[in-house]
Amino acid sequence: MTILMNTNQWMSILGLANRARKITSGEELTVKEIRARKAKLILLSADASANTTKKITDKCKSYEIPYKLVENRFLLGQAIGKEARVVVAVMDVGFAKKLGTLLD
């Protein structure tokens, strides 16, 4: 039950961040936000391809941006009201902190 509760919580917060226009989704746009140092937290789907996972985690490490894994691409997409998404960048410090604690 705890996992379900946390899933609903982080998805709700991510949905709010989306409505506030404080996120970007998609690999290329996320990498762009990491490079610009605008991303405060990266959410990466656990079922992302090995290539995508390496690219995103390497970028996060070199730019010192935290990242968290979420269960799958469908939950990530559902949280922002879109089709499956593999990676999402959160651009707001407040949303990033809250999501970070919920996904620990």
Find all residues with CB under 8 Å of 22, minimum gap 6, and list them. 90, 91, 92, 95
Domain range annotation of the chain: 2-102
**What digits encode the pLDDT tens for the residues 23-71?**
999 999 999 999 999 999 999 999 999 999 999 999 999 999 999 999 9
- Coil/strand/helix, residue 72: coil
CATH class of 2-102: alpha beta
* Both tokens assigned to 29: 């746009």
Q: Are 40 and 96 a contacting pair, CB within 8 Å? A: yes
Q: Are 73 and 85 a contacting pair, CB within 8 Å? A: yes
Look up residue 86 and give its DSSP letter.
S
**What digits encode the pLDDT tens for the residues 10-34?**
999 999 999 999 999 999 999 999 9
CA-closest candidate to residue 75, choices 92, 87, 66? 87
pLDDT at 1: 36
